[in-house]
Amino acid sequence: MSDPSPPPDAADSMAVVQEAIGDVVLEPAEKRAIWRFTRRELPYLWSQRTSYFILGSYRDPYIRRLRAVQNELTKQLGAYPFVMGDLLELPTERLNTFDIMFALLATYTDYIVGVFEKESGGEAPELGEIDDPPYFEKSYVFPRDYAWVTDANLDSAYHVIQAALEIAFTDELTDEAITAKIDALVDRARENGIDVTEDEVWDVIDDRTANAEAPATYSWVHRNKFRKFELHDRCFPWTSDEELRDAVSGLPSPTPRPEWETGGEP
């Protein structure tokens, strides 16, 4: 197979690459590898479909949640959701390959979707990439167990459940003490007009305990970045897999297709 020639938009895409690698001079073989990647992967982003670049951890069980988001988006006509790990790799040993692929995909995709469950791993620097221009305006974050509001200022059932999870996974408390604190928490929340039941709270706790999944914890830096997205209505916290799938509905949907394409009259 012959080496790929420069794609028609090579100047623009190579400008993105150069921004990602700095003043490094590309070798001919490296340019050809990048052109091969752009010819293979970028046409999907330039098509009429709405593209969603999904970020998050590839380790199990986290990857299953990325696939859940991808599957939910795939159900929408005209959507192209993708995970970088599924795409063609750049066979270059000298360059910072991740930065190049990320820059190209993030630049040309319609929306960036970050699923976060912890503060370490590859998804941590990704969060630092998308919370500022040029990617911030098209980015959405889905942090598990995130809540900016503290226990002293509970204002929703979600925040009550988050506070209850923190209590349930506190090692120094006995089972009796945990039950008493959670019951008191729910009573206080209901007295303040929050529509939440003990069954709702304990169902989440029992599910997380059965799967040995302690609440996700984040550094102050992570929480502040999530708060920035929250203030722009682009942060969707979740607790269970079902809530994550439901939260995906908050993402911008693909442009409606013509009536003839969906069975309507021409």
CATH number of the domain at 230, please. 3.40.50.450
More confident call, 147 vs 122: 147
Cβ pair 240, 204 in contact under 8 A = yes
On whether residue 2 sits in a domain, the answer given is no
Q: Do 223 and 136 sit in the same domain of this protein?
A: yes
d(CA 104, CA 20): 9
- pTM: predicted TM-score of the whole model, two decimal places: 0.79
Q: Do 226 and 180 sit in the same domain of this protein?
A: no
Q: For 168-176, what is the mean pLDDT? A: 81
What whole-number percentage of the chain has pLDDT above 90? Answer: 44
On whether residue 263 sits in a domain, the answer given is no
Look at residue 257 and tell me whether its pLDDT is greater than 70. no
On whether residue 127 sits in a domain, the answer given is yes
d(CA 142, CA 72): 14
Cβ pair 97, 89 in contact under 8 A = yes
Q: Do 170 and 94 sit in the same domain of this protein?
A: no
pLDDT of 122: 64
Q: Do 137 and 97 sit in the same domain of this protein?
A: yes
Domain count, the chain: 2
Q: For 169-173, what is the mean pLDDT? A: 77
Q: Do 244 and 116 sit in the same domain of this protein?
A: yes
pLDDT of 125: 81
Look at residue 266 and tell me whether its pLDDT is greater than 70. no
Reading the block at residue 16, the tokens are 């993105």
CB-CB neighbours of 209 under 10 Å: 14
Among candidate residues 103, 117, 118, 140, the one with its CA nearest the CA of residue 241: 117
Place 217 in a pLDDT band, splitting at 50, 70 and 90: confident
Q: Do 99 and 225 sit in the same domain of this protein?
A: yes
Q: Do 66 and 197 sit in the same domain of this protein?
A: no
Q: Do 61 and 167 sit in the same domain of this protein?
A: no
**67 Cβ neighbours under 8 A, 6+ residues apart:** 83
On whether residue 5 sits in a domain, the answer given is no
Reading the block at residue 123, the tokens are 């998804």
Across the beta sheet with 111-116, the strand order is: 79-83, 50-55, 111-116, 139-143
Look at residue 24 and tell me whether its pLDDT is greater than 70. yes
List the domain range (segments joined by +) for residue 177.
Answer: 151-210
Q: For 3-18, what is the mean pLDDT? A: 78
Q: Do 28 and 92 sit in the same domain of this protein?
A: yes
| DSSP state at residue 238 | B
On whether residue 114 sits in a domain, the answer given is yes
Q: Do 228 and 110 sit in the same domain of this protein?
A: yes
Cβ pair 132, 72 in contact under 8 A = no
On whether residue 257 sits in a domain, the answer given is no
d(CA 12, CA 23): 16
Q: Do 48 and 23 sit in the same domain of this protein?
A: yes
Q: Do 140 and 164 sit in the same domain of this protein?
A: no
On whether residue 62 sits in a domain, the answer given is yes
pLDDT of 8: 62
